[in-house]
Chains A and B, each alone.
Chain A
Amino acid sequence: MGKVIVCRCEDVTLEDLRQAFAAGHRDLESLKRFTGLSTGFCQGKCCAAHAGRFLAELRGGDDMVCDPTRTRPLLHPTPAACFAAIASGEAPDQEDA
């Protein structure tokens, strides 16, 4: 059996997720921190839904408890030059939602 790549940016496989789950990482945030899932260039746009489904399956079909990982700006990789002119202290604060 070859690899089934879930996260193409960071080369995380289904098998990586299965092992991480067995090691006790039972929610997406924890799986992300352990495997690197969703931490690459696309920030989970290609893998979060797949990983959520797989996690629900590992948990026995339980959709309801599947939370997304914490979402932070920026939505897309953006050159620093786009923000360099915003003076420090002037940037908007993100309130904890």
Chain B
Amino acid sequence: MPARAGEPLAAALLAAGVQVFGRSLKYHRPRGPYCLQGHCSGCLMRVDGIPNVRTCQTAVRAGMVVERQRGWPSASFDAFRALDWLSGQGIDHHSMFTSSAATNRLAARFVRRLSGFGELPAGEPRPPAPVERWQRQVVVVGGGAAGLQAARELHRRGVRSTLFERQEVAGGRLLDGSDSAGGDGQGSWARLAELHRQLEGSENLELLPGTTVVAVYPGDRLQVVAVQERRTLVVEAERLLLACGDYEQVRLFEGSDLPGVFAVRAFDRLFYLHGVIPGEPVVLCGDSPRLLRLAGDLVAAGVEVAALVSGATRPPLPAGEGAFPLVPGRLPVRASGGRWIERLEIAPAPSEPADGLFDCGCLVSEYPPAPAYELAHHAGCRVDFDSACGFRVVVDDGGRTSNAAVFAAGHCTGAMSLEQALEAGRRAATGMAESLSGGSGRED
């Protein structure tokens, strides 16, 4: 299979026309990538004998052996899918085969064969990674808009910080193609380049990409556990600034879990960064200016766009106006297809009957992302629920959380614009710098 050096394995597979990456646990429904961000389970495959590898987070290499997991006789044609068709609204496993202990044991054994999570790794077990213990004054988690801007502000104030970024390239949202337009250096790529210039060679910033923070332990001194490819870091930190962003989501409706349904930023990366269109015609659902820009750019690139379905009754006109039908006041209600999305039905509201149908080779589904609140929750910070986005870290104007040593900024604290995320990063860094110098440090 051909691939471009360095591109994510999942992008290479999609470009090569691979549709089913795996099968779901219970109903053996087809699964494929939808977040391209390393937070879902759609792209898991067995790579070079290692099960459950996130192919969207793995750079492609020549000679890789990539296999699908689960499914019989294979994940691309899986006979157990019949379970899904036969079960209608679902299987309530709580009361099945519980009448006698013997049938229960038998059923449990059968179910274990049916589901399970891939085969054990082949070959020698991986040797233990060396563990390093560090002490740092300030640790920043996340190198997106808020995290980079915070690092920049700390640098300006002469405070040293260590920034852990999960991806190999820092930037987060600033890397998105559909936000990159905008004159006067206001586009995201220009902003990223500017931040990069300001931080380049800074002695105050220790930037570690390819580093995933997996745990935070509160206590007299915070402990942050971060893993890299070949070593594990246990870092004692005086202050922690969480700028870990959010998780892309898609709108929920019947069949919205089919392969070929992508979150906006996942599709954005495929198109702008990797030049991959996983299917045509493309249907886009949502109202944001960036989605309209994306639609316009797709048309300009010669990609077939079937429609832009907008929940808003009077959406702003897209750049490529006239090049594709704009369908206002409608929401997607049903996606169908065998192994990949083939058709999309729309309706005036989720509870109303469908009144429109599109051939659909790929659906770009816009939905508010869910803040990454978990690390703050590890640290005992207060988290609340906002129906606009989900659970989020509660902060004040200065980015202070309910734990005096922990600050948070950007999309992990709720929905906001790129501009607001940058500003929040700056403010949290200011608040933190002040708390370190004892100025307006707050005890609670």
Main secondary structure of the interface of B (DSSP, over half): loop
Q: How many residues of B contact A (CB 8 A)?
A: 67
By a CB distance below 8 angstroms, the chain B residues around A40 are: 25, 41
By a CB distance below 8 angstroms, the chain A residues around B27 are: 3, 11
Complex-state Cα separation, A73 to B27, whole angstroms: 28
Q: Do A97 and B39 touch (CB < 8 A)?
A: no
Complex-state Cα separation, A66 to B383, whole angstroms: 10
Q: Which of A59-97 contact B (CB under 8 A)?
A: 63-64, 66-68, 71-79, 81-86, 92-95, 97
Shortest beta-carbon distance from A62 to chain B in Å = 10
Contact of B128 among A56, A85, A97 (CB under 8 A): A85
Closest A residue, CB atoms, query B402? A97
- Chain A, interface residues (CB within 8 Å), range: 35 or more
B89 located at the interface, meaning its Cβ lies under 8 Å from any Cβ of chain A in the complex: yes
The answer to whether residues A8 and B257 also contact, given A63-B386, A71-B374, A75-B214 and a CB cut-off of 8 A, is yes
By a CB distance below 8 angstroms, the chain B residues around A58 are: none
Residue pairs across A and B with CB atoms within 8 Å: the count is 167
By a CB distance below 8 angstroms, the chain B residues around A75 are: 212-215, 374-375, 378
Q: Do B89 and A13 touch (CB < 8 A)?
A: yes
Stretch at the interface among B247-255, B274-282, B286-294: B247-255
By a CB distance below 8 angstroms, the chain B residues around A4 are: 252-254, 256
Q: Do B29 and A5 touch (CB < 8 A)?
A: yes
B404 located at the interface, meaning its Cβ lies under 8 Å from any Cβ of chain A in the complex: no
By a CB distance below 8 angstroms, the chain A residues around B217 are: 73, 92-95
By a CB distance below 8 angstroms, the chain A residues around B223 are: 92
Complex-state Cα separation, A97 to B84, whole angstroms: 41
Complex-state Cα separation, A12 to B227, whole angstroms: 31
By a CB distance below 8 angstroms, the chain A residues around B25 are: 9-11, 40
B385 located at the interface, meaning its Cβ lies under 8 Å from any Cβ of chain A in the complex: yes
Q: Do B214 and A45 touch (CB < 8 A)?
A: no
Complex-state Cα separation, A86 to B41, whole angstroms: 28
Q: Do A92 and B225 touch (CB < 8 A)?
A: yes
Contact of A41 among B41, B130, B370, B379 (CB under 8 A): B41
Q: Do B40 and A46 touch (CB < 8 A)?
A: yes
Interface centre among B94, B214, B219, B255 (most CB of A within 10 A): B214
Stretch at the interface among B177-185, B199-207, B322-330, B387-395: B387-395
Shortest beta-carbon distance from A46 to chain B in Å = 5
Contact of B385 among A34, A68, A82, A83 (CB under 8 A): A68
In the complex, per-residue mask of B125-136: 1 if CB is within 8 Å of any chain A CB, else 0: 111111100000
Q: Do A78 and B227 touch (CB < 8 A)?
A: yes
Q: Which of B's residues lie within 8 Å of A, judged by CB?
A: 24-27, 29, 31, 35, 38-42, 44, 52, 84, 89-90, 92, 94, 117, 125-131, 212-219, 223, 225, 227, 232, 234, 247, 249, 252-257, 334, 336, 368, 370, 372-375, 377-380, 383, 385-387, 389-391
**15 A/B residue pairs, CB under 8 Å, sorted by A:** A5-B24, A8-B31, A8-B42, A9-B25, A11-B24, A11-B26, A13-B90, A40-B41, A42-B40, A46-B249, A49-B370, A81-B126, A92-B215, A95-B217, A97-B379
